[in-house]
Amino acid sequence: MKIKDLIKNDAGFQYIIDSMDLMSAAGRNAMLNGTFCSDGATLEAEWDRLDEAIRATNDIPNRRYYIDLRHCLMCLHDLGGTFSSLANHMPLNEVELFEIKSLCALSRSASSAIEGLGLSPTLPLPDCSQPFAILDPDRTGIANFYIYDSYDPELPALRRKLNALQTSGGDPVRISELLARQNEIQNSVCIRLSDELRPWTDTLVKTMEQMAYADFLLARAELAIRWNLVRPALGSATSYRALFNPRVRQRNEELHLRYQPVDIALNDGVCLITGANMAGKTVLLKSIGTAQMMAQCGMYVPAEEATVRLVEGVATSIGDDQDEMNGLSSYASEIIKISHILEACRNSNLLVLIDEPARTTNPVEGKALVQAIIKILEHQPSITLITTHYGQLGTACRRLRVKGFVEDMENIPLTPQSINRFIDYSLTEDQSDNVPHEALRIASILQCDTEMIALAQESLK
Amino acid sequence: MPFISEILRHKSLSIVGLEKNTGKTVCLNYILHRMNQIGKHVGVTSIGVDGEQVDSVFATAKPEITLFRGTHFITSEKHYLMRQAVSKLVAVDSQRTSLGPLVTAEVLIQGKALLSGAATTGALKRQIEFLGSMGVDIAIVDGALSRLSLASPTVTDAMILATGAAVSANVKQLIAKTRHLYNLIMLDEVDETLQRKLNIIESGIWALDSEGEIHDLGITSVFLIDRSEQDILRFGTTLFAAGAVSDRLLKILAAKGSGITLIARDFTKLFVTQEVYADFTRRGNRLMVLQRSKLIAITLNPTSPQGFLLDSKSTCDALSEALHTPVYDVKMIGQ
């Protein structure tokens, strides 16, 4: 699974990717083609490199090297098309040859910046001095390019004649002839240079890829610093101290609202999350999904401390997927999705996040379906989190309850605007099989229709 | 030689035409030639695609641009590879156009070339800045079709306006059409305090009260002006339109009364016809701009693409008299 596929179905992870400060289109491609990795050793090595990049980013005395490197990355062009022409024995034109020469010069500058930052072992760049020399016959060391006189013995005299005729307004026919001959020579030089460069194709491709990788790595380091992310440890269970959702935290900051990080520990098997409406159950599921993806895509995670149990994928059923266009109701598209998740769990270990399954059908059958889902997932080697409002499910699985409303925290009247201040988003182990009954209270806090609330209370008596 | 010393007082110059085939390219060639003679370092580019060997609309022969030694020019990869000048590449832009990426090169042996350039004014501004960083004395932008946006004072410091028989073969009409655009170019500027105050506004229509305070009228688009229930003149009769000013807006304002001053950003934001503008001013209203473009000269191409030829001398004289500004025949100055 690539990052570009992951962000299609996950707005939270998309937000993370969009927050990356990349310098080049090539770097962005490297990021989007980054993979969701399930191999611990590979991830540890990746996080080691990220550690180094963070150290280099924070290295104030060597700041100029860091600025140099970011500037080099900003000048990086995606030469994929040029490299495939080269590999396919197509002659390159002057502009393409110039681009290759620029890349070689860029890698030289980037290398010295990387060395200045002490990052050479982390970001080794291939030596491009040979291909550069092919494109620099006069040994000027400058990254300009044209078909230099020294490439062909006929060129200097021909161009002297051309120059004399052009500047004196000479015979146009003779000028055309000289230009045609010059173009012939230039074309044959282009073919020759392409042939000389061809053995260096792999070196050049590797150079571009490494620089694109450097761009992605520095962007991850910058994000880790900006958001105070933490390097996760690997373990057989997942746990977070002060886990936060970057997107929701950002939104709350903009609205001057409080944001409360949560602690959570998850083992294999099913864990039910209960709690009142508005208590942040859905956000919790999304945060856990996003953190898992970040970790397994080689990033640090949004928490103060984290241990991650690696999975082969994150499967989610969150939100109302009703789509009138495909003719499926909310219930139908949800149950199809859950059925796919159950199928996937039988073959691989996943992080499964299901938000209020079967909430859009009748509660009798709905509850039976939730019981069935739990029964199936209980014995799979996956970590499953299910939020629900159904009580009395009669299953033995672990339950976590969001603490929810703490009305007496302050003597401020509850309003829809201030409601967020009266919710404790932390989790507590819950031994009972009951769920909070706070729907009517919340409706009344939200100042909903009083007759509706009164009638509902009446019928509950 | 006319207007060369005037051009050199500026860092960038645009050449725009009232129509296609009004002789922009001839004018550019003349300037490049003169700059070469006096040893000035020129940077040149275009907006969009121009410099075709054959005019793509009327299939008439088009003069090519001659680039002299030392000139820095920006064009697309496709046109670069077709050039007849000998030049060395100094930069390739990362953004691609339909003709490949834009490349910057320095001429080693003079010769002809086709110019193409950035498609947006934002990208064009960057290209002009880049030419500046190459140390050019002046950056010249060749216009494409009848686009005017490049002549905005926010893009280029000064402009040359090309007009000619292509606009109209009837001298009276040619004068009327040229004068209309000339009038818009020459609209009075607001004072500096107001300039600073209004410059930062990016969109909408705003009003100025008698204290000089600005108020957002809450009209995001001219198309919504009818829907606005409140009187748009409630704060005063001086208004600022941050975006385009259309005939529609002028008509609505003219219907509201007289004594209105409407401020536009610059003349390139004015999409108003002669008749509507005349009616607007006749009712005692006034158009102003935040920034006026510096018009250096007007050039005339007496030949129309259909082959019609105007009398050069009498047309130039008639235009000069009507516009109180020198008008040059491009073919004559090019000699």
> CA B82 to CA B67: how far, in whole Å?
14
Q: Any idea what the CATH number is for the domain that residue A401 is in?
A: 3.40.50.300
- Using a 10 angstrom Cβ sphere, with 0-12 exposed, 13-18 middle and 19 or more buried, the burial of residue B284 is exposed
For chain A, percent of residues with pLDDT exceeding 90: 70
For residue range A431-450, list pLDDT tens digits in order. Answer: 887 777 778 888 887 888 99
Regarding whether A310 and A207 lie in a shared domain, the answer is no
- A110 within a domain of the structure (yes/no): yes
Instruction: Tell me: pLDDT of A60 over 60.
Output: yes
Query: Tell me, what DSSP letter sits at residue A180?
Result: H
Q: What is the pLDDT of residue A425?
A: 87
Q: Which of A258-267, A373-382, B33-42, B230-239 has the lowest mean pLDDT?
A: B230-239
Regarding whether A193 and A243 lie in a shared domain, the answer is no
Q: Is A243 within 8 Å of A249 (Cβ atoms)? A: no
Which residues in chain A are closer than 8 Å to B80, comparing Cβ atoms? 94-95
Q: Is A81 within 8 Å of A179 (Cβ atoms)? A: no
The complex's ipTM works out to 0.81
Instruction: Tell me: pLDDT of B57 over 70.
Output: no
| The token pair that represents A373 in the structure block | 């889902």
For residue range A323-379, list pLDDT tens digits in order. Answer: 555 667 788 888 888 999 999 988 889 999 999 888 888 888 988 999 999 999 988
Query: Residues of B near A (CB-CB distance < 8 A)?
Result: 77, 80-81, 84, 86-90, 92, 94, 100-101, 103, 105-106, 108-111
Which residues in chain B are closer than 8 Å to A167, comparing Cβ atoms? 110
Average pLDDT over residues A278-302: 94
* pLDDT range class, residue B168, cuts 50, 70, 90: confident
Closest-CA distance of chain B to residue A162, Å? 8
Interface residue of A22, A98, A176 to substitute, partner B, most B CBs within 10 Å: A98
The C-alpha R_g of chain B, in whole angstroms, comes to: 21
List of domains in chain B:
4-186+293-333 (3.40.50.300), 192-289 (3.40.140)
Torsion angle in degrees (nearest 10) through CA of B151, B157, B158, B163: -10
Q: What is the pLDDT of residue A219?
A: 97
> CA B136 to CA B229: how far, in whole Å?
53
Q: Is A62 within 8 Å of A115 (Cβ atoms)? A: no
For residue range B245-297, list pLDDT tens digits in order. Answer: 999 889 988 888 789 999 999 999 899 999 999 999 999 999 999 999 999 98
Average pLDDT over residues A134-158: 95
Q: What is the pLDDT of residue B20?
A: 79
Average pLDDT over residues B97-115: 91
pTM for this one? Answer: 0.83
Q: Does A160 touch chain B (CB under 8 A)?
A: no
- Using a 10 angstrom Cβ sphere, with 0-12 exposed, 13-18 middle and 19 or more buried, the burial of residue A51 is middle
Regarding whether A273 and A313 lie in a shared domain, the answer is yes
Q: What is the pLDDT of residue B51?
A: 43
> Domain residues for A358?
229-460
| The token pair that represents A117 in the structure block | 């930052």
Which residues lie below 8 Å from residue A98, measured CB to CB, with a gap of 6+? Answer: A144, A145, B89, B92, B103
Regarding whether A235 and A175 lie in a shared domain, the answer is no
Instruction: Tell me: pLDDT of B222 over 70.
Output: no
Q: Does A165 touch chain B (CB under 8 A)?
A: no
Q: Does A104 touch chain B (CB under 8 A)?
A: no
Closest-CA distance of chain A to residue B85, Å? 9
Q: Does A82 touch chain B (CB under 8 A)?
A: no
Regarding whether A266 and A177 lie in a shared domain, the answer is no
> CA A128 to CA A149: how far, in whole Å?
23
Put simply, the answer to whether A25 touches B94 (Cβ < 8 Å) is yes
Closest-CA distance of chain B to residue A166, Å? 6
- A129 within a domain of the structure (yes/no): yes
Q: Is B132 within 8 Å of B63 (Cβ atoms)? A: no
- For A:17-36, CB contacts with B below 8 A are 24-25
Regarding whether A245 and A369 lie in a shared domain, the answer is yes
Regarding whether A282 and A192 lie in a shared domain, the answer is no
> CA A383 to CA A266: how far, in whole Å?
7
| Nearest chain A alpha carbon to B66 | A166
> CA A129 to CA A218: how far, in whole Å?
25
Average pLDDT over residues A388-395: 83
Q: How much is the mean pLDDT over chain A? A: 91
* pLDDT range class, residue A413, cuts 50, 70, 90: low
| Nearest chain A alpha carbon to B91 | A144
The beta-carbon neighbor of B92 closest among A24, A98, A146 is A98
| Residue B303 Cα distances to A31, B20, B297, angstroms | 57, 12, 19
> CA A304 to CA A230: how far, in whole Å?
6
For residue range A305-324, list pLDDT tens digits in order. Answer: 999 999 999 999 987 555 55
Regarding whether A115 and A252 lie in a shared domain, the answer is no
Regarding whether A236 and A126 lie in a shared domain, the answer is no
| The token pair that represents B130 in the structure block | 């880049």
Which residues in chain A are closer than 8 Å to B89, comparing Cβ atoms? 94-95, 98, 144-146
* pLDDT range class, residue A214, cuts 50, 70, 90: very high
Regarding whether A329 and A234 lie in a shared domain, the answer is yes
For residue range A114-125, list pLDDT tens digits in order. Answer: 999 999 999 999
Which residues in chain B are closer than 8 Å to A77, comparing Cβ atoms? 92, 94
Q: Any idea what the CATH number is for the domain that residue A130 is in?
A: 1.10.1420.10
Crossing angle (nearest 10°) for helices A330-347 and A363-378: 10
- A199 within a domain of the structure (yes/no): yes
Closest-CA distance of chain B to residue A145, Å? 5
Q: Return the amino acid letter for B249.
A: L
Regarding whether A256 and A167 lie in a shared domain, the answer is no
- A396 within a domain of the structure (yes/no): yes
